Structure 1
């Protein structure tokens, strides 16, 4: 029996399990390894096992690869499309030769959005996407223009629900006024509580928009498995992130040690404890993995009860603003 719950994501009609599967690590990211090398056979087996365990939403993006991740997901869901809710994203500009702009520039123009969805549908081998996100806002295009173009995709039947990723509260209000949003996706974990500080999480609840937290395990930091930078592959993209730099790494490791102690006392892994905290906030979490064993451990975390005292203890271990270094 699955420990996952079916929940309404937002108020527009989409229902998913409260834990999805982040697929980013199943391929490279612009040539960079995501955490560790991936194996396609194991990745596809993970996607299939996810559904057996009650996971319904798969999260991908055209950026990942680029395009390779959507194609892998498309291969995995072939013949079983109706068993999954597929979420993908556009925004980072990819040219017709499948190359990212060197500056990782965002393109939110209506003509590019129409082009991007058709490419994603081909990659995924489907005629519709359940949830279509703008990966990042384009600073040169009004959000009203971008969301207006996205709403046309809903009317055309290519997309069922709309979302935005990593946006401010102001942009959420403006976008939601153009077309009702189903989800906001932002990094959220004990390791990154920025959405509590900037009002985004509170606003989604006010407007009836679902919240999807990516990297709920702090990009692997909260697993307790990373004890030094040497525990990451040479090509691992995390090596370039501020929180993993020497001046911040040791401070953050001290926080994780406290989490490990609490997890040990409870008889669970640090990852399960951290994931259970995210789910206890009433959001949908999308931990990413490419291995069946990690997937099964993540799903088990959904059935882990946390008392009010335990939630308060976790809040004391990693209060808002306690992590050293910016996310990017």
Structure 2
């Protein structure tokens, strides 16, 4: 039955799709479409036996044969707008997050053009109901800026990755789709019972996967809004016993850790506090925004210098690029054991 579809609540669409993929019954050749005001129709190849769905029906779902450009052209959108449309975007729960780039000197993607592109993106992604144009991230509290360009305007959502659920409001807190692999990885490298200090926890980006893996996580967050979501997400994922959420500057937190996560681009400035909390032979994950030619040498040298000042030595375990930060600058991570 090629028109078979699983009916699920909109808030659960993303997590159910992930489950259907794992089960091997998700039909990626057809589009997810709204089913009614509260539900979506997710195309499946066969009746799922593991994923939790509300109903299984036969309903026509159009094929995924058109990209954004094709859809804009079919809608009669001007060629210059079609040419300027973004080539990539991210679906975060029920929100499409799209980067229109720097348009300060480019009138091609003005407000009406963004709205046209946003409407087309909603047609492409039936599970979403709002499109947000990504803005910048400002200050040590990493406050986002952005604007709703299409849809109902609901920026609060629940996003699911590898079983971890993140409740958030994209108008209030940042969420980087490019960190997806790194978030999942932290839940894989940590051991059950391990003591972790997440110095820049945000809404629980790294803390939640590690807590779900059985680690005992002290998660510090200086921004009250992100802290509120961190506490809510610990409850949402059933890991309140594994997460000690602390509102305040991570440098004032008293803790002892086997592993420290420093998921902030300027985290090197906090290395003294990190090493004070890290046990001998503990592991640190140091994030940094680094000019490409200077990675991994610069963050490694910064770590070695800080360790030497504390009378300690560093054994680099791994270095990797997470994503591009900006032109010529990458977001990289250094994993190291410090004696």
TM-score exceeds 0.5: no
Relative contact order, higher structure (CA 8 A, sep 6+): 1
For the pair shown, the structure with the greater C-alpha radius of gyration is 2
TM-score by length of 1: 0.30
Using the size of structure 2 for normalisation, the TM-score is 0.29
